Chains A and B, each alone.
Chain A
Amino acid sequence: MIWDFQKIQQELEEEAGGVNDGQNLEAFRIKYLGKKGLIQQIYSSLSSLPSDQKPLVGKGVNALRSRVTQIIEDKKTAIKQKEKRSSQTDLDVTLPGVAHRIGHQHILTQTIDEICSIFERMGFAVQEGPEIEHEFNNFTALNIPADHPSRDSFDTFYLDLKDPHDKKANLLLRSHTSPGQIRIMENHKPPFAVVIPGKVYRPDAVDASHSFMFHQIEGLLVDSDVKFSDLKGLLTHFCKKLFGEDIEMRFRPHFFPFTEPSAEVDISWKGGKKKWLEIMGCGMVHPKVFEAVGYPKGKYTGLAFGLGVERIAMLKHGIADIRVFFENDKRFLEQF
């Protein structure tokens, strides 16, 4: 055969590789597709070829032509692209992105939500109670009699305010969320499981670990056969969900007028020197409390617990001073 298509093909590809602008693309086109170009030459030669070679050469030249056409098209696109790119300024892709600002939920309400949601996943309802309370709900119904030393841990703010429905009642700012228990029990029939988050107030001098306003979450589960072992199980599960699996816990006997038996829960992180941190109080609902809300004697048992939100948030996030929660420095709020 007089046309070595394999060699032509090889040369074509080599030449194509060198084509990088409009000028040499045009030279390339003329060389192959021009009036005197190679492909035309091959077509012209066909008539003078022996008849057995004609089909082979015909097939070869057709393939060659379509390959050349393809190359020219591809090169045109590539050159166009290149020209476009050279006319634009490249971005500094490392400059900061621009987004609409997203705000920050206060770490205390985030902590409340996190704690409540752990209990909600276990079937607890979330209910809030009022901050302005009756002395009965805050103390008497919770088995905290007047003039008793057990009131010492509950110094309380009293308000110059009268309940329009009960003029004799002394109104105060609740000193714990436990009166929420009384409201739930007075308005619902067991069984129920509820957590009660909210603000509480105590006349404490403000320092790094004391505040006259802080947040608590109260929990209450009442049914016909709630056991002390249930309290241990429930709170163990809760603490692991909140603080992680690598904690140790202990239940230490304590005294609360509205639970019997009562306990405080301490946690400690595994490893390192053991340091117990008190995180919550709990116990079995005192029969006097059931009596105060008018439940039939001996019909129900219940468990109750309460924790301080600030304390939990301080432990979880390494915050050393309770006052920062209420200063609301933007640089503090943005960290959470």
Chain B
Amino acid sequence: MKVSLNWLKDYVTPGIGAEELAHRLTMAGLEVETIHSADGDKVFEIEVTPNRADCLSMVGISREVAAILNKTRKPPRIKDTSYPKIKCEIAIEDKSGCSRYIGTVIEGVTVGQAPDWMRKNLSVVGIRPISNIVDITNFCLMESGQPLHAFDYDKLIGGKIAVRRARKGEKIVTIDGLERELDETILVIADSKRPVAIAGIMGGKDAEVNEKTKNILLESAYFDPILIRRAARKLGLASDSSYRFERGVDRGGVKTGSDRAASLILEIAKGKVTRYADVNITGKTKTTNSISVSVQKVNQYLGADILSGRCQTILKKLDFKVAARGKGGLLVQPPSTRPDVKLDVDVIEEIARIEGYDRLPTSFPTIKISDIPLDEKRFLREKIRKALIAQGFDEVITYSMTNREVLVKAKQNDIKSVKVINPLTQEQEVMRPSLLPGLLNTVSFNINRAQKDLKIFEASKIYRDEGEIEALGIMMTGMASEDWRQAKKQHVDFYDIKGAIVKAIRYVLGCRPMVFVPLQENFLEPGLSAAVELDGSVIGLIGKVEEGVLNSFDIKNADVWFAQIELKNIISRKPLKRAYQTISPYPAIVRDVSLTIDKRYFYQQLVEIIKEKGLKNLVEIHFKEDYTNMVRDKIASHHRGILLSLVYQSAERTLQEAEVNNDHQKLLKALVERLQVVIR
């Protein structure tokens, strides 16, 4: 809110410079964001928090200034106004929407320019002067925070006012010239035929005051904050009035606001009050409840030592009624301007902020041991992150939301994804069901900026109809290594990304059997992809991203490898207990096996047959190389050549050549019989 320092001085004399005053207001909770000079005045832009509707006026700010600087206030002067007995006709149909409505009919006004001082005050705080009548209502709004509206009384059909809900299909042209369609959720001020104002938000063109206006009806009312807020949102229309009604205007200020405006109109625009009505549904102005708070509680809560007298002074300066009650007890009644003060802690905050947070003591809390367990998900993610960073991967963070088109491009649109009901842009219309699109965007972004060698991962969430799922996505493209000694550089391939996944998961879970099974997915290249299984269930997938997908992400001339693991499948498994394995002091005997095998068999099958034999002394099986290309014309064309290395060792004794040979021959025999391998 804009506050003019000159205008403010009508109600309180700060006695300090603008900068210092801004600082003091800021440190009491009214943050002065900027100060600028205008027309010989200083204007503060103050951030008023939503609980402090009372500070949306000059008088409200002056109350704060008086409390902070311990000054005396000069309230606005209201000339004694006596009202005629003749009622103006007001019918409140929606009693919960409008609890009070004061109508004052002033006849014989002269519409013209408002006095210079008023025009200047309004201009400085950003309100365009229009005419004396309109300016007075705006002036009073800014002065006291009570929104007011003036109707051209002669344009009110039937000369009466009804406060009611709009009827479906009713329309109004507001004073900004726009036609707005209304409905039953919107409260309006109507004459006997039509709405003439949207209650608390904006007046209508039909009954607008203009230069020809002779007679006016001045409105001062209290409208329900929720009703006004909903209507303002629905209509996409906000005004200085609605801003204040939404936050709750002072119920006690409806009458004084009305009186002040009427008295200014009579003084400036002349005329005579001919009719008047104050329809008050709640009867007597509702007073706020009394709050009991002890000075001891104040000090215990703040860790401070503020004297009772000081507490009382602060509260009284803020217009609270304070009565001492018993030893150190205070009975506090906030003014009607402060409905936000309801509990003892609210009172404590008032004392604390006026005393100044910076003047309150500082201590260190005692932090006790609690039984909050380790967050397993977070712990797992940290370990995975470590394992991948150690392997040369950079961590990325991409947006959790995406647009449908991107999902189609990444061929992820089959997955049931979660829609965002109120996205601001298309980029936020759906929660990502997979990490693939975000990683592809990242690769595309980098490749198009000449960063072609990429090893990235994201350990974050994906979202499906079952909710949020902890996931890990890995993507690789470009060269496998940065070693300048290698003359021929190698591109990353399936085995690089497989290695990364296996290492990372082993780092977390220990050595568990992971199985890779060929997989068909439309976004991965067939024959170059696999499902990842752990303990017999699928935990993710790995493979080369299909070329069409790459093209749609503007990734050209690059092979891109992707893997995604759903970490929930890993969190649910406890890491293997790490029991110490005695290291055998006896020598190991290594036997290399060179063989060729039909291409339809997987390496895994070979290993399984070896393992099935259950040889006690066979401790390790190593895959050494696939040498098919070196001996292409020397082996059967449907075969490939494999070199294995088997390690035999006993923890109890030195193995004899003969027994190892015996075991080894058994294995070879089994391989020949079962998989028709050719031993070379």
0/1 interface trace, chain A 282-300, chain B, CB 8 Å (1 if under) = 0010110000000000000
Q: Would you call B216 an interface residue if the criterion is a C-beta within 8 Å of the partner chain's C-beta atoms?
A: no
Note all chain B residues with C-beta closer than 8 A to A96.
484
Partner pick for A157 among B361, B420, B451, CB 8 A cutoff: B420
Is A128 a contact of B378 with CB atoms below 8 Å?
yes
Q: Would you call B582 an interface residue if the criterion is a C-beta within 8 Å of the partner chain's C-beta atoms?
A: no
Q: Would you call B483 an interface residue if the criterion is a C-beta within 8 Å of the partner chain's C-beta atoms?
A: yes
- Minimal beta-carbon separation of B117 from chain A (angstroms): 32
The segment from B369-377, B524-532, B592-600, B649-657 that touches chain A is: B369-377
Is B397 a contact of A108 with CB atoms below 8 Å?
yes
Residue picked from A108, A192, A227, A330, most chain B C-beta under 10 Å: A330
0/1 interface trace, chain B 353-386, chain A, CB 8 Å (1 if under) = 1000110111111111111110101100010010
Is A230 a contact of B303 with CB atoms below 8 Å?
yes
Is B397 a contact of A328 with CB atoms below 8 Å?
yes
Is B421 a contact of A221 with CB atoms below 8 Å?
no
Q: Known: A255-B51, A328-B442. Is A213-B358 also a contact (CB below 8 A)?
A: no
What is the interface size of chain A, counting residues whose CB is below 8 A from a CB of the partner? 87
In residues 202-254 of chain A, which contact B (Cβ within 8 Å)? Answer: 203-205, 212-213, 221, 223, 225-234, 236-237, 250-254
Q: Would you call B676 an interface residue if the criterion is a C-beta within 8 Å of the partner chain's C-beta atoms?
A: no
Is B301 a contact of A227 with CB atoms below 8 Å?
yes
Q: Would you call B396 an interface residue if the criterion is a C-beta within 8 Å of the partner chain's C-beta atoms?
A: yes
Q: Would you call B346 an interface residue if the criterion is a C-beta within 8 Å of the partner chain's C-beta atoms?
A: yes
The segment from B101-109, B144-152, B323-331, B454-462 that touches chain A is: B454-462
Is B360 a contact of A232 with CB atoms below 8 Å?
yes
Q: Known: A126-B375, A126-B378, A330-B454. Is A260-B349 also a contact (CB below 8 A)?
A: yes
Q: Would you call A333 an interface residue if the criterion is a C-beta within 8 Å of the partner chain's C-beta atoms?
A: yes
A187 to B542, CA, bound (A): 38
A194: nearest chain-B partner, CB-CB: B372
Is B395 a contact of A203 with CB atoms below 8 Å?
no
Q: Would you call B304 an interface residue if the criterion is a C-beta within 8 Å of the partner chain's C-beta atoms?
A: yes
Q: Would you call A124 an interface residue if the criterion is a C-beta within 8 Å of the partner chain's C-beta atoms?
A: yes
Is B451 a contact of A105 with CB atoms below 8 Å?
no
Is B358 a contact of A125 with CB atoms below 8 Å?
no
Q: Would you call A106 an interface residue if the criterion is a C-beta within 8 Å of the partner chain's C-beta atoms?
A: yes
0/1 interface trace, chain A 92-114, chain B, CB 8 Å (1 if under) = 00011010111111101100010
A3 to B45, CA, bound (A): 109
CB < 8 Å A-B pair total? 258
A193 to B358, CA, bound (A): 25
In residues 118-153 of chain A, which contact B (Cβ within 8 Å)? Answer: 122-128, 130-132, 147-150, 152-153
Note all chain B residues with C-beta closer than 8 A to A252.
26-27, 29, 31, 357
Is A123 a contact of B418 with CB atoms below 8 Å?
no
Note all chain A residues with C-beta closer than 8 A to B373.
125
Is A191 a contact of B370 with CB atoms below 8 Å?
yes
A113 to B301, CA, bound (A): 32
The segment from A14-22, A50-58, A83-91, A158-166 that touches chain B is: A158-166
Q: Known: A227-B302, A229-B362. Is A98-B424 also a contact (CB below 8 A)?
A: no
Is B401 a contact of A212 with CB atoms below 8 Å?
yes
- Minimal beta-carbon separation of A127 from chain B (angstroms): 5
Note all chain A residues with C-beta closer than 8 A to B420.
157-160, 173
A288 to B446, CA, bound (A): 49
A225: nearest chain-B partner, CB-CB: B300
Q: Would you call A327 an interface residue if the criterion is a C-beta within 8 Å of the partner chain's C-beta atoms?
A: yes
Residues on B close to A: CB < 8 A?
26-29, 31, 49-52, 225-226, 229-230, 246-247, 300-304, 343, 345-346, 348-349, 352-353, 357-358, 360-373, 375, 377-378, 382, 385, 388-401, 418-425, 428, 431, 442, 445-446, 449, 451, 454-457, 460-461, 463, 465, 467-468, 481-485
Q: A131-B461, A229-B302, A252-B26 provided; 19 other pairs, C-beta below 8 A?
A: A96-B484, A103-B388, A147-B226, A150-B50, A152-B50, A157-B421, A157-B428, A159-B420, A160-B420, A199-B400, A228-B301, A229-B304, A229-B363, A230-B363, A234-B364, A252-B31, A254-B29, A255-B52, A261-B349
The 6 closest A-B pairs by CB, nearest first: A229-B303, A253-B29, A255-B49, A227-B303, A261-B349, A101-B392
